[in-house]
Amino acid sequence: MDIVDQLGAVREGKMSRRAFARSLLASGVAIATLPAGARRAMAAPEDQGTYFTWGGYDIPELFGPYMANNNGEMPNFAVFGGSEEALTKMRGGFVVDVSHPCNQAMPRWVATGLFQPIDPSRLGNWPDVIPALVDLEGNDAEGGSIWMAPFDWGQTSITYRTDLVDLEGKEESWDILWDPKYSGKLGSLGSGADAWWVGAIKAGVDFKDIDTPEAFEKIAAVMREQRPLMRTYTDDNTTLEQALSSGEMVASMTWASSAVQLQAEGVPVKFAKPKEGALTWVCGLMIHKDAPKVDKAYEIIDSLLSVETGHFMINDYGYGHSNIKAFDAFDAAKLDSLGLSKTPSEVLSAGHFQVPQTQEWETKMNETFEQIKAGF
């Protein structure tokens, strides 16, 4: 097919229908594949910082102050499903400005040498950060700086349908997620960083002893017991929320945000306070050693620590926030209904607070858990 010939044929009115259809096809293919070849403009301009975070944290509501400073632009986002996956990706050479690990992973993240200490004097909201959340195991760097700026804290527990799960007068318990009555109607977060620890609570393993062969066996046993009952394991909150709202699942291990958001939509769910205790954690922000835009990194962190963001986190996601002033807008009853408190330690120590583990443990745990999920 020669283009000049074709143009000539069109001009002379000699183009056959078949040839015309063929050129239509060719132009269609060309147009469809054009975006793949051409360099596309990025969704957010290249002069914004990059924030590597969990799904659900990539929304404008958390970045009011940042957007005010940057002509309404949000940071660039990269999303991960589990913090171990995120660490592997960054070890593989993925450079971001800010990332979002939790206290349990933080010492291992620091040990990789991929991060730089945070200079609190560059954060306007730092004086309002609750000191107890900064003072975490492993969170001290040289020169009085710290590695992780705490941002959110809260619980991992069970979100269940109050109309479809019958407690039969018993207390709420992790047993719901192991109840054969609900086989095929239970869900779970897919990342071992939540699920394995819940398994430890269910198996009655103290978190202090979680790194022992006996603990491993006990937890693996309860996870294997649970696996046939599971509809699916996923790292995607939306999948769990949709399944709970349609009744496809009657109960699932989730973070607080799933329950709060479903309640806001009028779905009859409850975020359980299991008698064995919920799983509790503190997550925060770390800056990459080679962060290309360190200034933007501090802007992202400061925005996340702001009172405005805190209101959204508490009210709409049901998470604790690290800015003490963010709690002033809520009365004790509201906080209590969300399972939160102005003094984080009350909530964190009431549940089982995750403790940092070695890299060997983490790898072995993930390996075992993935095998169990696959049915072995």
Partner 1 sequence: MTETSNSSTKAQRSPGRGGLSGLLHRHENLRGFLLMTPTLLVMGVGIIAPFFILVTMSLWTRQGFDFDTTLTMANYARTWNEPIYGALLSRSFWISGIATVATVILCYPMAYFVAFHVHRNKMMWIILMTLPFWTSYLLRVFAWKVILGYEGVINSGLMAVGLIEAPLEFLLYSQEAVIITLAHAWAAFAILPLYVSLEKIDKSLLEAATDLGDGPVARFMRITLPLSLPGVIAACFLIFIPTTGDYITPALLGGPDGAMIGNFIQLQFGPVNNWPMGATLSMVLMMWISLIALVFLFITRLAREKIA
- What minimum distance in Å lies between the beta carbon of 193 and partner 1? 9
Residue 159: which H helix or E strand, with range?
Answer: strand 149-161
Distance CA(277)–CA(350), nearest Å, equals 7
> Which CB, 35 or 131, lies closer to partner 1?
35
230 binds partner 1 (CB under 8 A): yes
**Residue whose C-alpha is closest to residue 263's, from 156, 182, 338:** 338
6 binds partner 1 (CB under 8 A): no
Which residues lie closer than 8 Å to 194 by C-beta, 6 or more apart?
Answer: 156, 253, 255, 279
Cβ(187)–Cβ(160) below 8 Å: no
40 binds partner 1 (CB under 8 A): no
Number of H helices, E strands in the chain: 15, 12
35, 169, 214, 376: which one binds partner 1 (CB under 8 A): 376
DSSP assignment of 165-225: ---TTPPP-GGGGG-GGGTTSEEEE--HHHHHHHHHHHHT--GGGTTSHHHHHHHHHHHHH
- What minimum distance in Å lies between the beta carbon of 88 and partner 1? 5
71, 246, 266, 331: which one binds partner 1 (CB under 8 A): 246
Q: Using the 8-state DSSP alphabet, how is residue 112 labeled?
A: T
- What minimum distance in Å lies between the beta carbon of 161 and partner 1? 13
227 binds partner 1 (CB under 8 A): yes
375 binds partner 1 (CB under 8 A): yes
116 binds partner 1 (CB under 8 A): no
> Which CB, 88 or 349, lies closer to partner 1?
88
Distance CA(325)–CA(221), nearest Å, equals 44
7, 10, 25, 221: which one binds partner 1 (CB under 8 A): 25
> Which CB, 60 or 228, lies closer to partner 1?
228
User: Could you tell me which stretch among 205-213, 226-234, 278-286, 290-298 binds partner 1 (CB under 8 A)?
Assistant: 226-234
58, 73, 175, 248: which one binds partner 1 (CB under 8 A): 248
45 binds partner 1 (CB under 8 A): no
266 binds partner 1 (CB under 8 A): no
> Which CB, 231 or 270, lies closer to partner 1?
231
Please report, in angstroms and rounded to a whole number, the separation of the first and last CA atoms in the chain. Answer: 57
Q: Where in 169-188 is the site for partner 1 (CB under 8 A)?
A: 184
17 binds partner 1 (CB under 8 A): yes
371 binds partner 1 (CB under 8 A): yes
Q: What's the farthest any 2 CA atoms get from each other in the chain?
A: 87
Cβ(90)–Cβ(52) below 8 Å: yes
CA 329 → CA 61, 111, 310, 324, 325, distances in Å? 17, 38, 10, 10, 8
Distance CA(287)–CA(52), nearest Å, equals 10
User: Could you tell me which stretch among 43-51, 97-105, 155-163, 365-373 binds partner 1 (CB under 8 A)?
Assistant: 365-373
Burial class (CB in 10 A: 0-12, 13-18, 19+), 19: middle
* Number of residues engaging partner 1 in binding (CB under 8 A): 39
Binding mask 82-111 for partner 1 (x = CB under 8 A): x-xx--xx-x--------------------
Distance CA(286)–CA(324), nearest Å, equals 20
280 binds partner 1 (CB under 8 A): no
**CB atoms closer than 10 angstroms to residue 238:** 12
288 binds partner 1 (CB under 8 A): no
60, 247, 268, 292: which one binds partner 1 (CB under 8 A): 247
Q: Which residues bind partner 1 (CB under 8 A)?
A: 1-2, 17-18, 21-22, 25, 28, 32, 82, 84-85, 88-89, 91, 112, 184, 191-192, 227, 230-233, 243, 246-248, 359-360, 363, 366-367, 370-371, 373-376
